[in-house]
């Protein structure tokens, strides 16, 4: 009899726990919390850019929660779930699956093309919308994935604009190319090469390094012997800065050009005495002019007040991507990816701090802007905004 009482008590306890779990699960599902995933390199050589991206997402989430977000007549609380891909494609796919398993409502990221592209298949298979604020390799939006969106001009536009600028404005007749073997670095270098050659320049050297390298003396010594007018580097500022230092030490006189990966405020610190005045010309994907400039200036001021730091590079685009994703949820009356995805894809004329946002049929931003920059007197100086 005693054993029977114990067995009955255990059974009753098991049923109670099971029922509680069911109700707990239901409560969790309907507790008014919408989780958005963010991925970027929070560790590694470009962690400063990854943290900048994360700050942009957090700023958007905090502002939206402060003003209140209503989806289908109910107030929701937004949360940000951040993962670190360390700029590594393998780690990028691992954390992508982790976020899918966590059933996030959408993804902001990744930063690099090399992590964004492989991760995009995982999000697409799960039907989860992904907005990259910074991946510029054309392949990202040319895979036929309906879940992939991009807020900046791609490498075709960026590289070709810089290639033409090198010949037409800098009067370059010879160019040398260095890339870091990443999807981004190779992609933008290839587009620069095609445009520079089409404009009449001769490529006198093609070299490569990697995204963690710090010694470029052998490459630069070889290039110096060929006396190019311009050296183009496809890569990020963590490599481009030390490369500029070593160019200066070796007496390499060429102008230095690159894409948005080097076009950061941190290049001033990373290149130090190698920066020089008007030596570097780079293009940042995105850009504002006219009436939109006031909005970007206001964003930068609010960012500095919140984080006690300057915007590094992509934070405004991450901020816009986050707010745009939530706006699509609000308009669709649902945070269910299947329901708000068509609304997101149909975005036309959304006004962000980075300018107006409209998507084409591939998920690319229409009429994407580029900002050309140089460095002078230890400051980053805008040359022009082009489209």
No. of H helices and E strands in the chain? 12, 15
Asked if residue 216 has pLDDT above 80, the reply is yes
Q: Is the pLDDT of residue 258 over 80?
A: yes
- The model's pLDDT over 158-214, given as tens digits with 9 standing for 90+, comes to 899 999 999 999 999 999 999 999 989 999 999 999 999 999 999 999 999 999 999
Indicate if the pLDDT at residue 70 is higher than 90: yes
pLDDT of residue 66: 98
* Residue-level pLDDT at 294: 86
- What integer is the mean pLDDT of 135-163? 93
Cis amide leading into 25 (omega within 30): no
Query: Tokens 């604020």 — which residue?
Result: 133
Residue 328 token pair: 């699509």
Q: Look at residue 132 and give its three-state secondary structure.
A: strand
- Distances in whole angstroms, Cα of residue 156 to Cα of each of 46, 219, 252, 276: 23, 26, 28, 28
Inform me whether the pLDDT recorded for 60 exceeds 60.
Answer: yes
Residue 385 or 271, more confident: 271
Report the run of H or E that residue 202 belongs to, with start and end. Answer: strand 202-208
Q: Which of 201, 215, 206, 168 is nearest to 186 (CA)?
A: 206
pLDDT at 349 over 90: yes
Q: What is residue 151's predicted lDDT score, i.e. its pLDDT?
A: 94
Which tens digit of pLDDT belongs to each residue from 259-313? 989 999 899 999 999 999 999 999 987 777 777 788 889 999 999 999 999 999 8
Which are the contacts of 364, defined by CB distance < 8 A and separation ≥ 6? 141, 149, 150, 154
- Buried-state track 259-295, b at ≥16 Cβ within 10 A, e below 16: bbbbbbbbbbebbeebbbeebbbbbbbbbbeeebeeb
Percentage of the chain with pLDDT > 90? Answer: 81
Position 384 scores a pLDDT of 87
283: left (phi over 0), alpha (psi -120 to 50) or beta: beta
**pLDDT given for residue 155 in this prediction:** 87
Predicted confidence (pLDDT) at residue 2 exceeds the cutoff of 50: no
Q: What does the mean pLDDT of the chain come to?
A: 90
pLDDT, one tens digit per residue, over 39-57 is 999 999 999 999 999 999 9
* Per-residue pLDDT at 17 exceeds 80: no
Cα separation, 201 vs 167, whole angstroms: 6
Q: Is the pLDDT of residue 24 over 50?
A: no
In this prediction, residue 31 carries a pLDDT of 66
Domains, in order of start, for the chain: 34-152+290-367 (3.40.50.2300), 156-285 (3.40.50.2300)
- The model's confidence at residue 110, banded by pLDDT at 50, 70 and 90, is very high
Average pLDDT over residues 226-234: 97
Mean pLDDT computed over 326-354: 97
- Lowest-confidence region among 22-31, 238-247, 342-351: 22-31
Q: Residue 13 above 80 pLDDT?
A: no
């Amino acid at each position: 009899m005693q054993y029977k009482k114990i067995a009955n008590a255990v059974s009753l306890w098991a049923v109670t726990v099971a029922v509680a779990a069911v109700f707990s699960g239901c409560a969790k599902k309907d507790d008014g919390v919408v989780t958005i995933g963010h991925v970027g390199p929070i560790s590694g050589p470009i962690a400063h850019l990854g943290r900048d991206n994360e700050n942009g997402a957090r700023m958007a989430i905090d502002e939206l929660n402060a003003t209140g977000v209503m989806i289908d007549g109910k107030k929701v609380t937004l949360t940000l779930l951040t993962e670190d891909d360390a700029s590594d494609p393998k780690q990028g796919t691992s954390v992508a699956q982790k976020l899918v398993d966590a059933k996030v409502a959408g993804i902001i990221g990744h930063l690099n093309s090399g992590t964004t592209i492989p991760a995009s298949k995982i999000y697409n298979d799960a039907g989860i919308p992904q907005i990259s604020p910074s991946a510029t390799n054309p392949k990202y939006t040319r895979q036929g994935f309906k879940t992939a969106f991009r807020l900046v001009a791609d490498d075709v536009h960026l590289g070709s604009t810089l290639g033409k600028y090198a010949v037409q404005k800098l009067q370059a007749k010879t160019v040398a190319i260095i890339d870091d073997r990443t999807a981004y670095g190779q992609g933008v270098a290839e587009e620069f090469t095609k445009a520079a050659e089409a404009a009449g320049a001769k490529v006198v050297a093609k070299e490569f390094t990697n995204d963690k390298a710090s010694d470029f003396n052998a490459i630069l010594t070889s290039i110096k012997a060929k006396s190019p007018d311009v050296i183009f580097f496809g890569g990020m500022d963590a490599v481009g800065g030390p490369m500029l230092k070593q160019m200066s030490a070796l007496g390499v006189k060429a102008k230095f050009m690159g894409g948005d990966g080097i076009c950061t405020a941190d290049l001033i610190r990373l290149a130090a005495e190698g920066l020089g005045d008007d030596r570097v010309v780079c293009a940042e994907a995105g850009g504002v002019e006219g009436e939109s400039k006031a909005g970007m200036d206001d964003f930068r001021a609010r960012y500095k007040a919140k984080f006690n730091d300057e915007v590094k590079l992509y934070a405004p685009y991450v901020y816009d991507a986050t707010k745009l994703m939530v706006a699509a949820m609000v308009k669709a009356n649902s945070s269910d990816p299947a329901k708000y995805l068509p609304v997101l894809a149909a975005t036309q004329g959304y006004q962000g701090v980075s300018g107006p946002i409209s998507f084409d049929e591939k998920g690319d931003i229409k009429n994407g802007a580029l900002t050309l920059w140089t460095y002078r007197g230890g400051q980053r100086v805008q040359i022009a905004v082009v489209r």
